[in-house]
Chain A
Amino acid sequence: MSVILEVVCPRLLGPAAMVAAAIIVKGYSDVGDGFSAGVVVALAVALRYVTLGAERAERSLPVLRHAPVLAVAGLLLVLAIGFFPVAFGEPPLTHFPRAGEPVVEIGALELTTAVALDVGIFLLVAGALVETIHQIARLVEERRA
C-alpha cells in the first residue's frame, strides 16, 4: 500500500461526511437525497477498509460498531414518520407542515417531516452498507488468517 494512499484515504472521511451532510440539507431544494448521502458515507468508510484493512479501520474508528443500531434507528424513524399521522386520523405519510403552511427554516434547511424521513433513510442506508462492508471484510480476514 503506497504511503500516499495511507495518508490521504483516512483523511477523506471528514470531507465525505461534510458532502453527505450537504446533500441531505440541500436535498429538498436541490439535487440529492438521503440515499445518496448514505452511499457517500459508506463509500468513504469502504475506502478506509480497503486502505487500512478491516481491523485497523475498526480500531481507528470505533464509532463504526454502532452501524447496526444506526440502521435500525433509521428504519424506525422512517416507519414512525410514515405512520404517526395515522394516530391523528390522517392517511399514512402525511407530511407536516402541510402544503402552504409556513416552514421553520435554518439557513437552507427547511424543517419538515419529509426531511426527517430523508434523514431516516440516510441513517438506514449508511448503517446497512457499513454493516455489510464490515461483514464482508471480516470474512476476508478470516479466510486470510
Chain B
Amino acid sequence: MLALAQDELKQILAHSTISQYGYVVTLYGIGGATAAGAATLYVLAHAIAKSALFMTAGAVTVATGESKLSRLGGLRRRMPALAVASGVAAATLAALPLTLGFSKDELFFAAATEHGRAVQLLAVGAAALTVAYIGRFWLGLFTGPLQTQPSAPVPPLLLAPIVVLGALAVVGGIVVEPFARLAEDAAAATYAGPLEVAPAYHAELGSENRMALAAWALGALILVVPRVRAPLVGAFARAGERAGPRRWYALSLLWLNRVSDWAHDREVRDLRNSIAAVLVPAAVLIAIALAVTPTRGSYEVGPVALGDLPIIVLLGLGALAAVTAARDRGRLQPVLALSVLGFALAGVYAMVGAPDVALVAVLVETVLAYVFVGVFARLPPATVRRPRRRARNAVIGAAAGASAFAAIWGALSRPTATTGVAAEHIERAPEAHGGDVVTVILADFRGLDTMVEVTVLAVAVVGVASLLSRGRAW
C-alpha cells in the first residue's frame, strides 16, 4: 500500500519488494508442500520481474534525468521496446495470464485456499494492491502526456537485459515446465522432501481463477479511481509514520545508542575502568554459570602425594611472583616477577604431561619479557600517582580472581577429555607418521587452519614493514 503513495521510482519498487517477500514469508508460514513449491516459484518469478523493473527505472532515469513518477509520463512513443519489455515484467508481477507471474499467483492462491477463508481474502487483497501499484508504475511511466523530454535514447546495453528478462517472463508464462522443475528442486530442499510443483492453466472457474479475477478487478478499481485511492493510502502512510515499525525501530536504536554511549564513556575514562569492564562481566557470567551448572564431583580436595612436591613448589613460586607483581611499585620488578610466574606455570605444564604447551609457554613468556622490558625502558620517568578508589579495585580484583579460580578448578577437576575428536586425533596420529599429536594436528588434521594462520602472519608482517618503513622490506 505504501508503494502506491511513493513518487520516487525506485522507492515504489523497493516497497513492492518488501511486499513480495511478505508473500513468500506468508507462504512459508502457511506451510505444506503446496506453499513451499509456490514460495520458490514466487521467488523465481519475482526475481525476473523485479530485476527487469529496477533496470527499467534506471534506464528511464538515465534517459530523462528524472526519477520521480509525477514528472514522468508518455514515454511509450519514445521508448517502445522498453515499454513493451517492462510492461511484460509488470504484468508478471501483477500475475496477468501468459506470463510466469500467473503461475506464481495461481500457486499462491491455491496454497491460500488450502488454508481457509481469511487467508484467501488477505491473498486477494494483497494481489489486488500489487496490480494497482505496479499498474500505476507502468502506466505513469509510459502513458499519458509526455512530461519530461528524454535527452538521450536508452543505451542498447541497458535495454537488452530488460528485453531478455521480459522474454523470459513470457516464455515462462507459456512453457512453465522448466521453471516449475527449477522451483520443485529448490522447494524440495526447503520442504525437506520431494514435492510436485504443477502450475497449469485451468479453463474452468476454480477458486484460484476466481481469486485471480477478483484481484485483477479490485486492483484495476483501485488504480482507476484515484479519489478512493489517495485518502486511503495517505491515511495508511500517516498511521505508519506515527506508530509504524520504522518509528519503533528508530526509537529503540536511539535508546540502545544512549545506553551504549554511557557504558562506553564509563569504560574509557581510565585504564582501571577498562580492565574492570572486562573483569566484572566475566566474574558475573562465571557466577551465573556456576549457579546453574551441577557441580557434584567437582571441587573435591584430593590427597597430596609426595611426587607432587615439585609441582607444589613451582605453584608456590608462581603465587609469590604474582603477589610481587601486584605489590611492587617499580617497573622492572613486576615484569620479572610476571616472567617468573610464567616460567613456573610452564614448569607445571611440563610436569602434568603437556610438554608442548610448556614449550610454547616458555617461548611466549620470553618474548613477552623482552617486549615489556623494551616498552618500559622507553617510557618517560615514573610519575607514580597512587590510584584512588583502592577499595573498589580490591573488590573487583578479588571477585575476578575468585571467579577465575572457581572456573579453572571446575575445568581441571573434570576427567580428562579423551573422547570425541581428541581421542580420534590421538588414535590416528601414528597413521599420519607422527608421534607427537600436537604437531600432527597442526600440520595435518587441521593443516588448513595452520595455512591460513601463517598467511595471516605473513600479511601482518607486511603491514608492520609498511607502517614502520613505508614498504621497504629491509
Residues of A within 8 A of B (CB): 23, 27-33, 35-36, 39-40, 43, 46, 50, 65, 67-68, 71-72, 74-75, 78-79, 82, 92-93, 95, 97, 99-100, 103, 110, 112, 114-115, 117-118, 120-121, 124-125, 128, 131-132, 134-136, 138-140
A36 touches B359 (CB 8 A): yes
How many A-B contacts if CB must be within 8 Å? 128
**Pair A114/B432 contact, Cβ less than 8 Å:** yes
Q: Which residue of B lies closest to A100 (CB)?
A: B431
13 A–B contacts from the bound complex (CB under 8 Å): A35-B360, A71-B458, A82-B451, A99-B428, A99-B431, A99-B432, A114-B444, A120-B454, A121-B454, A125-B454, A131-B465, A131-B474, A135-B464
| B367: A residues at CB distance < 8 A | 39, 43
Count of chain B residues with a beta carbon within 8 Å of a chain A beta carbon: 39
- Which of B360, B432, B448, B465 is within 8 Å of A36, CB to CB? B360
- Complex: how many Å from CA A29 to CA B439? 9
Q: When the two chains form their complex, are residues B458 and A124 in contact, meaning their CB atoms are under 8 A apart? A: yes
B 13-30 binary contact with A (CB < 8 Å = 1; else 0): 000000000000000000
* Contact B363 A43, beta carbon cutoff 8 Å: yes
- Contact check, B454 vs A32: say whether CB atoms are below 8 A apart: no
Chain B residues, CB < 8 A from A27: 436, 439
Q: Which of B407-460 contact A (CB under 8 A)?
A: 428, 431-436, 438-440, 442-444, 447-448, 450-451, 454-455, 457-458, 460
B433 contacts which of A46, A78, A110, A134 (Cβ < 8 Å)? A110
Q: Does B259 contact A (CB under 8 A)?
A: no
Check if A33 sits within 8 Å of B451, measured CB to CB.
no
Give the complex CA separation of A79 and B429 in angstroms.
22
Residues of B within 8 A of A100 (CB): 431
Cβ A82 vs Cβ B447 within 8 A: yes
User: In the bound complex, what is the Cα–Cα distance between A82 and B360 (angstroms)?
Assistant: 24
- Residues from chain A with a CB closer than 8 A to the CB of B461 are 71, 128, 131-132
Q: How far is the CA of A92 from the CA of B435 in the complex (A)?
A: 23
Is B356 in contact with chain A by the CB < 8 A criterion? yes
Q: Min CB distance, A19 to chain B, in Å?
A: 11
Residue numbers in B under 8 Å from A46 (CB-CB): 370
Closest residue to A140 on the B side, CB-wise?
Answer: B378
- Cβ contacts under 8 Å, A23 to chain B: 359
Q: Which residues of B contact A50 (CB under 8 A)?
A: 370
Residues of B within 8 A of A32 (CB): 356, 359, 436, 439
Minimum CB distance partner of A32 in chain B: B359
Q: Decide if B366 is an interface residue (CB 8 Å cutoff).
A: yes
Across-interface contacts of B363 in A (CB, < 8 A): 36, 39-40, 43
Kindly state whether residue B244 has any CB partner on chain A within 8 Å. no
Whether B431 and A135, one on each chain, are in contact in the complex, defined by CB atoms closer than 8 angstroms, is: no
| Contacting residues, chain B, for A35 (C-beta < 8 A) | 360, 442
B356 proximity list for chain A (CB < 8 A): 31-33
B157 at the interface (CB under 8 A from A): no
* B469 at the A interface (CB under 8 A): yes
A23 nearest CB neighbor, chain B only: B359
In the bound complex, residues from chain A placing their C-beta under 8 Å from that of B464 are 131-132, 135
Q: Tell me the bound Cα distance from A135 to B467 in angstroms.
A: 10
* A39 CB contacts on chain B under 8 angstroms: 363, 367
Over the window 349-374 of chain B, the binary record of Cβ atoms lying under 8 Å from chain A Cβ atoms (1 yes, 0 no) is 00000011001100100110010001
- The answer for the CA separation of A95 and B473 in the assembled complex, in Å, is 33
Q: A33-B438, A82-B447, A131-B465 provided; 17 other pairs, C-beta below 8 A?
A: A23-B359, A28-B433, A31-B359, A36-B363, A65-B474, A68-B473, A68-B474, A75-B454, A99-B431, A99-B432, A114-B444, A117-B450, A124-B454, A125-B457, A131-B464, A135-B464, A136-B468
CB of B454 within 8 A of CB of A33, answer no
The docked-state distance in angstroms from the alpha carbon of A82 to that of B83 is: 55
Taking A97-B433, A136-B468 as contacts, is the C-beta distance between A114 and B454 under 8 angstroms? no
Q: Assess the A79–B435 pair: CB atoms within 8 A.
A: no
Rounded to whole angstroms, the CA-CA distance of A142 and B45 in the bound complex is: 66
Q: A128 — which chain B residues lie within 8 A by C-beta?
A: 457-458, 460-461
Q: How far is the CB of A11 from chain B (nearest CB, A)?
A: 18
B213 to chain A minimum Cβ distance, whole angstroms, is 57
B391 to chain A, nearest CB (A): 40
When the two chains form their complex, are residues B448 and A92 in contact, meaning their CB atoms are under 8 A apart? yes
* Contact in complex: A33, B448 (CB < 8 Å): no
A117 contacts B431, C-beta separation under 8 Å: no
Bound Cα distance from A74 to B450, whole angstroms: 13
Given contacts A136-B468, A138-B468, contact A118 B434 (CB under 8 A): no
Distance of A131 Cα from B457 Cα, bound (Å): 12
Query: Is there an interface contact between B443 and A114, defined as CB atoms closer than 8 Å?
Result: yes
